[in-house]
Amino acid sequence: MKRAISTHLLAVALAAAMAPAVAQEAQTQLPRVTLSAGMHQIDAQVAQTPEQRSIGLMFRKQMPQHEGMLFVFEQPSVQCFWMKNTLLPLTAAFVADDGTVVNLADMAPQTTESHCSDKPVRYVLETNQGWFAKKGIKPGMKLAGKPFAGR
């Protein structure tokens, strides 16, 4: 029994030691969805598992202006985001089930300041900082795309 516990603890310690090395890589192979805000389109990677959401856009050194990441949660809730290990300045759009932008938050790189939705949401779309402002997209406007269809 003692040996089994030691082996288990060694396996846990090895997994913990290896986790930071794996997490240091940017996720770039997630499924994608095209979203639109009026005539403007964004090619968004979809982060839908807890692991994908926890890594998000961390460790990315660049992202094309027309791209972003859509975080999909199981149910609406107040969502809070921070920027630890995120190298790019981003804007988060907190989005209701029907695609309505609830609120926007500009987020500075590599900070732990929380940016939260003003009400429960299921979706958060992160883009390069300023993308929404440059396109004139404000809270109350709607995004369109497959995730919001039929809601």
- CATH code of the domain containing 130: 2.60.120.1140
Residue 17 falls within a domain, yes or no?
A: no
Kindly report, residue by residue over 112-121, the tens digit of the pLDDT: 999 999 999 9
CA-wise closest residue to 57 among 83, 34, 35: 83
Residue 67 falls within a domain, yes or no?
A: yes
**CA–CA distance, 123 with 97 (Å, rounded to integer):** 7
Residue 21 falls within a domain, yes or no?
A: no
Residue 133 falls within a domain, yes or no?
A: yes
Residue 10 falls within a domain, yes or no?
A: no
- Structural domain boundaries, residue 73: 26-148
Q: Report pTM.
A: 0.83
Cβ–Cβ < 8 Å for 57, 89: no
Kindly report, residue by residue over 76-97, the tens digit of the pLDDT: 999 999 999 999 999 999 999 9
CA-wise closest residue to 75 among 100, 56, 48: 48
Question: How many domains does the chain fold into?
Answer: 1
Cβ–Cβ < 8 Å for 38, 55: no
Residue 12 falls within a domain, yes or no?
A: no
Residue 119 falls within a domain, yes or no?
A: yes
